[in-house]
Amino acid sequence: MPTITFTSSTGEKQEIVATVGESVMQTAVRNGVREIVGDCGGVLSCATCHVFVDSADADRLPEVSDMEDAMLDGTAVDRTEDSRLACQIVVSEELGGLHVTTPECQE
């Protein structure tokens, strides 16, 4: 099973075993990652699952869609080049070891 490491804005790390086919947002919410809200349930309409993907992992992710790009402009904490919405990252075996950092707030 692949693992995802979530690092909070204060540096606290949680390594979570993820389920293939779930989104990174679903994995976070199911496992109580406090800094991931996921208000819309993963339908790309709220941007409350904003994460910063470790630059070493960025090439393993699919390209940002136009809709995700637009939603990233509305995040509570300014986006960076490493910003993604966790609801748009689907867990696969190839993504095992993914590292993301959560912003200090989502709303």
Total number of domains constituting the chain: 1
pLDDT at 87: 97
Q: Is residue 106 in a domain?
A: no
Segment 11-66, tens digit of pLDDT: 999 999 999 999 999 999 999 999 999 999 999 999 999 999 999 999 999 999 99
For residue 28, give the nearest of 46, 10, 45, 3 by alpha carbon.
3
Domain CATH code at residue 66: 3.10.20.30
Six-digit token string for 37: 């809200």
Q: Is residue 87 in a domain?
A: yes
Query: What pLDDT band is residue 107 in, cutting at 50, 70 and 90?
Result: confident
Measure the CA–CA gap between 1 and 17, rounded to whole angstroms.
Answer: 6
For the whole model, what pTM was predicted?
A: 0.95
Q: Is residue 107 in a domain?
A: no
Q: Is residue 38 in a domain?
A: yes
Measure the CA–CA gap between 44 and 30, rounded to whole angstroms.
Answer: 18
- What residues make up the domain containing 82? 3-101
